[in-house]
Each structure stands twice: as structure tokens, then as C-alpha cells.
Amino acid sequence: MTLDPRERKSIQSDLASPDDEVRRLAVERLPLLPAGEALPQLVERLGDPSWRVRKAAVECLVGAPEDWPVAAHLIRSLADGENPGRRNAAVEALVRSGRRMVEPLLAAAASEDIDVRKLVVDALGGIGSERAVPRLVDLLGDRDANVRGAAADALGAIGGPDAVGALTGAALADAEEPLVRFSALRSLARLETPLAASALASALADPLLRPVAFGVLGHGEDREGEEVLLKGLESGSRAAREAAIDALLRALSRREPGDAERLASRIRDTARGSPACVADATARLADADLGVRLTLVQFLGIAGLAESVLPLLQAARDEALAEVAIATLAGFGAAAESAIEGRWDALDAEGRALACQLLGQTDGRTGAARLSLALDDGDPGVRAAAARGLARRTDPAALPVLLRRLQASAGDDEPEAEEERAALTDALVRIAQEPSAVALLAGALEGAAEPVRLAIARVLGGLGGAEHAEQMVLLVQDPSAAVRRAAIGALARVGPAATDWLRLALADEEISVRIAAAAALGASAGLYALPDLESLLADEDASVRAAAVRAIGEIERHAPAAEASAALPGVRRLLEAALADGAPVALAAVEAIEGLGVALPLEAVRGVLAHPDPEVVQSAVRCICGSGREDDLGALIPLLSHPHWAVRAAAIDSLAERRVRSAVPAALRRLELEQDEFVRDTLLRALGRLEEA
């Protein structure tokens, strides 16, 4: 393609613009030029002051045609000693270009320029091709230590037996530069290569190499290495101590249960005998990198010292650490409960809420008492956390205090109070599984505030026994619509015995209650609910009619096999009639028919394809695609010209899925006219699938 001279001039002008965005857009147009013009300018822009321009140049080079000599230009740019940004961007482009760059890079590894050799090694390591291993092994003998160190790092990224052998030789070579040995040891640890402590003696004696040597020991199982790592907990160097901690935890994760317990006991004893190690690990929870903090949390959990409880609780404020920190503290058991109880008044609201979360995972009396007291905390978030903690413990003894707190919060209209009431209600539902608990709640029903009545209705719904029908019937007549809805849900679990009360609820003044009653009847009354649900199809509210339609669709699923067959004609008649209703009802009817699978013929659904609401039409398309016959599928072809793009896309996708080859001519005609890019892409993919059929 010949580029318009004006466009060529525009690109060159924009590349010289002081505006970063203008230069970036110009870079993205450079691939329109021939390779001989585009490549030098793309490589030049790898050194642009703007990272966005450099990124655009990298993207263009990575996506360049296969026949462009990209590798040669990128490798030449590695020698630019004046612009480290260009060199780094060139390495990124080489790595992202992948394996096609391996052979040119292997050839460039013979460069006389030390910097080029090192950057070539970095790129080979980033690509990770095993074809580079022999050359990288050779480069472990390069005359420059930086190149040898980079080769060690690259071999660690690629791995394999040859890489491990060469790295072991470099790591154990006492005469090798410490920088190279460091990289080799780090790579061996990365490759989980075990080496004996005796072999690592010289590295363990070197303060610089000791931490990475510990990392290698963490992958072995020799007792001498274990002793060295335990002694490392007492090191005067923080880096060595943290490396020993990490290595011991790795070793612990690899042991069989019995041996793991033995090693954990030894770690615990050594840590408790080294106060400086524990104190420093505790202090580092506040400022270390996330990976280090996760390691230290696990270590302090093994040490199990009471003085670590509050720092670990503080660490749990970080969402990335919260789960592991709380789980670790739960392992402290009574020690955690005592430590929190002793400092409760010193904790802020967030700390108290986290403490409640923790105490929900312990099982001591001190924790239970504190959670009960926390229900009266001045902060609603703490009160909600206390309720969730008590819920997790599932102790029936907490029911009276939870109920009292729920009653006390009934008149509070603040959003935080609503969250608290939800937590209190959930706790009651979770705990109240015993008959004595139900009796306690039933006794509180008379004169109780709405939140209490709602909680009792939810509890009864969770239990679902016919023996609680008396309380359910009382609640289904409650002044509160929310309580009546919950009671209806409870009655649904009782079964056909509750049908009369559910029928009465169909005439409730509240729309949401009628909807709940419809769903409950469909799920519990089977074939006997059909006349009642049919009457609900005349309800003035469309959402109620839609709920009735969904319930009718559920009858066939929930009814016993003998009833299901008898119910199907009536279900079909009502669902087909509902297809003529407004959008919400028609949509519910199509979905109900789709849910019944091949149980119903789809002639009536085909009539919905002309519905004015696109969502209803899309639902009908899905239904026909799922279980339609050949003539049903043929009815989808005219939809390729539907005014709504989503309907056109759904139709062609369905035709392709069902391999309707007769749709190909209409799809080709539509492709000539289609303006919507998404639909065009869908058409092209569908035509490809149809041509394969």
C-alpha cells in the first residue's frame, strides 16, 4: 500500500511535536511506512522522554510483521550507553516478541560490548526458552562478573537439569565473585534445589551469601541444615534472620505431619529463647513488604507468644493480611482472649471490631463474655462485629443478649443500625436451632418491635417445621409487610398444610407479599396451586403477574412425578397465555418455558419474536436455540434484520450454534448492510462456524 505523501509528512511533523500525546499517535502510525523507514524511527522512540510514547513504540515493534528485521534494530539499540530508557525498552520489546528473538540474541551474546552481552542475557532469561540454556551455561564463564551474574539469574528463570548443574558449580565455587555466587544461590533457591549444609559451608560463612544460602537450605531435609537454620534465628543480621524464618517455614510445609510437628516445636522453642528475633519480627509487621509480613505472621503464630497478639491484631487492619492474621491469632486460643481482654479499653473501634472477629473463632469463656459485652459498645460497627462473632460460635447461651440488643436497636433509623440489626438477626437465625431457643423467641413475640418479629420469622423459616405453624400463622398476619414476607417464606417450608394461609396472602395489600406468596405456592403446593396462581394472573401489578408466571413454571419441577404429568397441560395453557402480556410477564413466561426444556412445544414462543421489547425477543431466541426444532430455528432468520443490534447478534449467534446452514445467504446479505461493529464481528464468526458445519 502506497502511503499518501501528506500522511507521511504529517507523521514526521507529529514525531517532532512537544506534545506527548501527539508523538504517541504518530508512533502508532509509523507501521504504515515501509520497514526501512519505520524501524529506525520506532527504535529511536524507545528512548522518548514520555513513557507512553516508549510503550507505544514497544507495542508497534512487538506487533511488527514477521518479515521486518526487528531483532537487528533492537539488538543494535542495546549498545546505546547514553540512554538507559531506550536500552530497557528494547529489552522489553525483545522479551515480549518471544521465541522468534532467541536465535538473534544467541548470536548477539558474542558481542564485545559487556553491556550488550548482559542485556542480551537479561532478554534471554525473560523469554525463558530452553534453547538458550547451553549458551547461558557458557556465559557463566564470561570474563565479566556482571554478565556471569546475569547468566545465573537467567538460568534460574529457565531451569532444567543442565541449568541446575551449572548453577550448583557456580554457587559452590569459593573462588567465584560473591555477586555471581549470590545470583547462583538465589536461582537454586528459586528452582527449589536442595543442597546439604556441608556443601554450603563457605557460603554460610559469608555474611553477604548467608541469607540466600539459607534459602537453598529451606528446600532440603537434612538435619544439619535444620540446625543451621534454627541457629540463624539468633543471627545479628535482620536479613539472615528473615531468610532463616522463610526457609524454616518452607521446610515445615514439606514435612510429613509428625515431622512437621517436631520441627514446629523446635522453631517455637528457639524463637522463645531468642527475644530479639521475636521482637524484631513483631516490629517489622508495621513496615516490611507484604511477602515478608505474611511470613512473619506465620512465624509469630508458631512462636505463640502473648506479646505478639496485639501487633498481629494491628496487622490485620491490612486487608491483604487480615485473613491469615486472624486465623493465626485464633490458634493462640485462650492466650489471645486474655491478651485482648487485658487491653480492650486501649483498642480503637477498628481494633475492637477485629478483636470481635477473632473472638468468634476462639472457644474460651473469656472471649464469649467479651463478645456479649461488646454488644453494648458505643460503636455500631463493633456491635455488629460482636453479633457476627457470637453467630460463629453458635452458643445458645448468647440468645438472650442478642435478643435484648435487637430490641434495643429497634428504634434507631441510622444506616449503621440497619447493618447491626442484620448482623443480630443473622446471629439469631444461626444459633436458634434448639427447641428451647425457639421457645425463648416465641415468648418474646408478644409486644416485640418489628426487627424482633422479623428475626423470629426468619428463624422459623430456617427451621421450617410444621410444629412451629402456630407462630408462623401469627406472623403472616403481622402489621409489617417485611415480617409477613418472612413468615410466608417460613410457611413455604411447611408444605401443603400451609396452603390455606398462603392463599390468603395472595390478596395481601402489599405487592411484595403477594409476590412472596406466589413463589411459596409454586414451590410447596404443587398441582393444587395452579387455580390460585391462575387467579393471580389478573393482578393489577405486572410484577405480581410475573411472579405468578414464574411460580407456575416451578410447579412441574417441584411436583411429584405422578402430579407433574397431570400438571403439564394446565401449565402450558397458562404460560402460553402469559406470552401475550406486557414485557415483564412475557419475559417470565419465556424463561419458564425455557426452564421446562423440551416439555412444551415452542409455536407460541415463536410468536413472541415480534414482541416490541428487545429483551423479551432475546429471551425467546435463547429459548428456541436451546430446544427448538428445525422450523422453530428457521423463524430466527428474519431477526437478522431486526432494528435492535442485540437481537440481531443473538439471532445469528443462535443460528450458528445450532448449525442452521440455511441462514448463510441471509447472513451474507446482512453483512453487506451491517454498521454495528459488534454485530459485524458476530456475523463473521458465525459464518465461519456455519461454513465448517
Q: What percent of the chain has pLDDT over 90?
A: 60
Chain centroid, CA 480 distance in Å: 38
* Length of the chain, in residues: 693
Residue-level pLDDT at 462:
65
More confident position, 234 or 602: 234
Phi, psi angle pair for 78, to nearest 5°: -65, -20
Q: Which residue has the higher pLDDT, 465 or 26?
A: 26
C-alpha closest to that of 104 among 85, 78, 65, 81: 78
pLDDT of residue 79: 87
Which is higher by pLDDT, 582 or 415? Answer: 582
How many CB atoms are closer than 10 A to CB 63?
A: 11
With bands split at pLDDT 50, 70 and 90, how would you rate the model's confidence at 2? low
pLDDT of residue 464: 56
In tens, the pLDDT along 254-294 reads: 899 999 999 999 999 999 999 999 999 999 999 999 999 99
Give the phi and the psi of residue 312 in degrees, each rounded to 5: -65, -40
Would you give the distance in Å from CA 661 to the centre of its chain? 40
Among 3-12, 28-37, 221-230, 665-674, which is the least confidently predicted range?
Answer: 3-12
Grade residue 371 by pLDDT with cuts at 50, 70 and 90. very high
CA 429/CA 398 separation, integer angstroms: 12
- Mean pLDDT, rounded, of the chain: 89
Rounded Cα distance between 550 and 514, Å, is 13
Dist CA 450 CA 457 (whole Å)? 10
* HEC sequence for 632-666: HHHCCHHHHHCCCHHHHHHHHHHHHHCCCHHHHHH
What does the pLDDT read at residue 174? 94
DSSP 575-588: HHHHTTS-HHHHHH
Q: What is the largest CA-CA distance in the chain?
A: 94
Q: What percent of the chain has pLDDT over 70?
A: 92
Q: Tell me, what's the pLDDT at 278?
A: 93
Give the list of residues 6+ apart from residue 481 with CB closer than 8 angstroms, or none: 508, 510, 512, 513
Q: 676: how many CB neighbours lie within 10 A of its CB?
A: 13
* Rounded average pLDDT over 329-355: 95
pLDDT surpasses 80 at 447: no
End-to-end alpha-carbon separation of the chain, Å?
Answer: 36
| Residue of higher predicted confidence among 439 and 41 | 41
Indicate if the pLDDT at residue 117 is higher than 90.
yes
Task: Kindly report whether the global pTM for this prediction surpasses the value 0.75.
Answer: no
Tell me: pLDDT of 222 over 90: no
Query: CA 680: distance to chain centroid?
Result: 32
162 vs 439, residue with greater confidence: 162
pLDDT value of residue 600: 57
Dist. CA 624–CA 646, nearest whole Å: 16
Average pLDDT over residues 70-80: 91
**C-alpha cell, 382:** 463493633
239-250 pLDDT, tens digit per residue, is 999 999 999 999
Q: Mean pLDDT, to the nearest integer, of 12-36?
A: 91
In degrees, rounded to 5, the angle at the alpha carbon of residue 118 between the alpha carbons of residues 116 and 121 is 110
Q: What local confidence, expressed as pLDDT, does residue 415 receive? A: 79
More confident residue, 565 or 320: 320
pLDDT over 70 at 3, yes or no: no
Q: Which pLDDT score, from 0 to 100, does residue 602 have?
A: 81
What are the backbone angles phi and psi of residue 406, rounded to the nearest 5°?
-65, -40
- The pLDDT, as a whole number, for residue 627 is 85
- Report the C-alpha gap between 596 and 590 in whole angstroms: 10
- At 8, list the grid cell: 507521511
Task: Look up residue 296 and give its three cell numbers.
Answer: 512473619
C-alpha cell at 393: 460460635
Angstrom distance (rounded) from CA 16 to CA 25: 12
What's the rounded Cα separation, in Å, for the pair 280 and 238? 8
Which carries the bigger pLDDT value, residue 449 or residue 179? Answer: 179
pLDDT of amino acid 426: 87
For the chain, the C-alpha Rg in angstroms (whole number) is 36
For 478-501, the pLDDT digits (tens) are 888 888 888 887 777 766 666 777
Closest by Cα among 454, 500, 503 to 478: 454
Q: Which is more confident, 386 or 415?
A: 386
Q: How far is CA 275 from the centre of its chain?
A: 39
Q: Report the pLDDT averaged over residues 402-413.
A: 81
Checking if the pLDDT of 210 tops 90, the result is: yes
User: How much is the pLDDT for 497?
Assistant: 65
pLDDT the model gives residue 352: 97
**C-alpha distance from residue 200 to each of 171, 224, 387, 485 (Å):** 8, 11, 54, 71
- Cα 8 to Cα 4: distance, rounded to the nearest angstrom: 6
pLDDT at 407: 83
pLDDT tens-place string over residues 537-574: 999 999 999 999 998 888 766 665 666 666 677 788 88
pLDDT at 73: 93
Res 629: pLDDT: 86
The H-assigned helical ranges of 78-177 are: 84-97, 102-108, 114-127, 133-139, 145-158, 161-171
| pLDDT at 31 > cutoff 60 | yes
Query: What nine digits make up the cell of 384?
Result: 455488629
Residue 298 one-letter amino acid: Q
Which has the higher per-residue pLDDT, 605 or 324? 324
Give the distance from CA 461 to its chain's centroid. 32
Q: What is the pLDDT of residues 40-55, one digit of tens each?
A: 999 999 999 999 999 9
Above 70 in pLDDT, residue 507? yes
The stretch 583-603 carries a mean pLDDT of 81
